[in-house]
Amino acid sequence: MRRLPRYIGIVLALGAAALLLAACGSSSKSSSASGSGSTTSAVNIAASTGSKVCPYKFALITHGDNGSFWSVVYKGAKDAAADLGCTLTETYGSQQQGQAEPDDNAENAQIQDAINAHVDGMAVSDHDPSLMNPTLAKAAAAGIPVVLLNAGCDDTDIAASGALTCVGQPEQLAGQAAGAEFKKLGATNVLCIIHQSGQNLLDRCNGIAQALGVGQQCKTGSAPSSGTGCTELTLSTPNAASNPQQAIGQVTSYLQTHTGVNAVMALNNAIGTALVSSNPQSKPKIATFDLNSGVQQDITAGSMSFAIDQQQYLQGYLPLVFLDLYKRKNGQSVGGGTTVPSGPLVVTKSNIGKVSAAIAAGQD
């Protein structure tokens, strides 16, 4: 699959952002509307943006919840709406508090609601492509531009959905970065913790296996007693990311019977910080996907080896910039039908200071 190098994606993204913010002029602003059956709220920023007011209303529809990860995505979208002066109709995601898994049928219905509401563009996490791509293609056929975010960042899904691009982290590439970092640390028998269903999580584990040179896929079952390996462990606790202390008991038990494991990769920061608190000696080495203040503290203290940062603030911010660019500048688009990478960035003790300000500002 063809991927844009990360630096190219960021150069494109920043260039587009600069173009748009310079181009935003005064114009009338349409009121927001929400379709039936969806939980939406309109953010009207016109009063605080001076002359930078755009006439467009955009919908943000995700499979996420209101937790520490997705709140940063939503902040990015709100900030983009403020900077551009656009109306943002936000759907805070199909995974409500306490649900074990996202409700993909509900998200798909929200996409249809946005089509019925005649929004000017939509930013969508394509969590279940087989279900959502036909609905997203209806939006494109109706003249509504779509930018994917976070999920669906595969060239085939971008094409099938009719989207302009996807802003997100190529997950196998991110897994490869994690595997390479573990190798640098001398830890090559990795347990990869899967906290909920999703091909994106499997791709992360598979990327680790590829970087370690143990095949194209991370395996299930028993970890090797010695040597190099990548083994998946799927947590049985429902909604494990919201109940990490309960969930990690399964990890602790596994490590007690598979003593050859010398590295644990959490795919969620709540799971990662819970593992550190239960394993103060950092044996085996622990790393996680995604940042928060707890991960920042653990990396600074040396109790967590590293984190893979997908910079999810950009996943909320850039889709609105790209939609506004497309609408305002006669169909100008970014990405060329492939992914604009927001990550991965490997965060270690040596560079955690550089991202601390973003964490403090709610931008990471």
| pLDDT the model gives residue 183 | 96
Name the fold adopted by 6-169+311-344. Rossmann fold (3.40.50)
The predicted-structure confidence for 296-317, as pLDDT tens digits, reads as follows 999 999 999 999 999 999 999 9
Can you give the pLDDT at residue 279? 75
Whole-number pLDDT of residue 186:
95
Tokens 């896929």 belong to residue: 217
Q: Where are the domains of the chain?
A: 6-169+311-344, 171-309
pTM of the model: 0.75
At residue 38, does pLDDT exceed 60?
Answer: no
pLDDT, residue 98, reads: 57
pLDDT of residue 1: 38
Say whether pLDDT at 204 is over 50: yes
Q: How far is CA 27 from CA 5, 55, 356, in A?
A: 36, 6, 37
Q: In this model, does residue 196 exceed pLDDT 70?
A: yes
Task: Name which residue leads in pLDDT, 190 or 41.
Answer: 190
Token pair listed for 353: 């200071």
Give the pLDDT confidence score for residue 216 in this predicted structure.
96
Closest CA to 292 of 358, 350, 245, 248: 358
On the CB side of 51, CA atoms within 13 Å amount to: 6
Mean pLDDT of the 185-214 span: 94
Q: What mean pLDDT value characterizes the chain?
A: 84
Token pair, residue 307, equals: 């984190």
How far, in Å, CA of 358 to CA of 339, rounded? 23
71-108: pLDDT as tens digits: 899 999 999 999 999 999 876 677 665 566 788 999 99
Is 6-169+311-344's fold the same as 171-309's? yes
Residue-level pLDDT at 112: 95
More confident residue, 44 or 267: 267
d(C-alpha 290, C-alpha 272), whole Å: 9
CATH class of 171-309: alpha beta
